[in-house]
Amino acid sequence: MLGVHNTCGSRVRFFSHAFDVHWLLASGVAVVTLFTLNRWRVYIAWPYAVTAIALGLFLHAAGVHATLAGVLLAVFLPTRPAPAVALLLGQAATALEELEHAERDSSPEDADATRIEREPIWEWAGRNLSAASERLLSPADRIERAIAPWTTYLVLPLFAFSATGVSLKVDIASPEARRVLLGVVLGLAFGKPLGISLASLAAIETRVALVPEGIAGRAFVGAACLCGVGDTVALLMADQAFRSGGEAAVAKLGVLIGSTMAAVIGTAVLVSTPRKHLITSRDY
């Protein structure tokens, strides 16, 4: 721990691990490598990714938080595509032109004619268009698209779960704890969907709100069930409602169980609803 005095006389303290000079030098080499890749206008994503992973390991070994590697990667990662755009646009134009010729040459009167989607030209054009569109993306866009599913569906939920301080070692043997757990679970999985559905029905019956055309009641109930998924607000309310640490931990566990039940029930209801009765992004 290091300490210095500021101008007001109070002591400012810095808490840190012991720094390892050798790993700090290795981290500096990795940063220089990122800088060199950027200055040499390297537009391939994997050298940046590999160097950033190595930088994170070096920083962790040096006693510095490894998340700094992500910040440094963002500094040096190119956000513009490769400058040779004309060649890629020409490749895409050629593929589209070949598809247009194949469509024009096909005979619409022949009922037995093979659909163009089944012709080799379709697969060839698709590969060329995909390759051209991929190369038109900057390295930053390619890395973002590659890690987006992992960060959205794995890293972020795990981070939120660990940051909320939910303890799985709770005692639910007492009647009070079981009542708290059951109340939170039923409130999220059934209480919120029921309240939302009844309030919406009342608004519709009193002409305060209108039902979207073609939307079935099952789809509305499914959406109401998904509203039972609790997040940080529900966990915060558990801390505020229960001053006892044990009861607050039970309530947080109930939030996780009730949210999971609400998500499963809502998803099952929506999946079983005919697609024509659902509002999708294509409707906007």
Mean pLDDT by runs of 10 across the 284 residues of the chain is: 45 58 93 94 89 94 88 88 62 68 61 53 65 72 87 82 71 87 94 94 89 80 91 80 81 90 93 68 43
pLDDT value, residue 162:
72
**In this structure, are 19 and 53 located in the same domain?**
yes
Residue 86 within a domain: no
**In this structure, are 51 and 120 located in the same domain?**
no
Return the SS3 of 11.
strand
155 alpha carbon, distance to own chain's centre: 8
**In this structure, are 179 and 270 located in the same domain?**
yes
Residue 278 within a domain: yes
pLDDT value, residue 129:
66
Residue 252 burial by CB count (10 A; 0-12/13-18/19+): exposed, middle or buried?
buried
| Distance of alpha carbon 62 from alpha carbon 136, whole angstroms | 37
The tokens for 35 are: 């800088």
The tokens for 120 are: 């080799």
Contact partners, residue 64, CB within 8 Å, separation at least 6: 19, 24, 27
Cα angle 22, 23, 24 (rounded to 5 degrees) comes to 90
**In this structure, are 43 and 157 located in the same domain?**
yes
pLDDT value, residue 182:
94
Domain count, the chain: 3
The tokens for 5 are: 């005095």
Q: What is the DSSP letter of 190?
A: I
pLDDT value, residue 35:
95
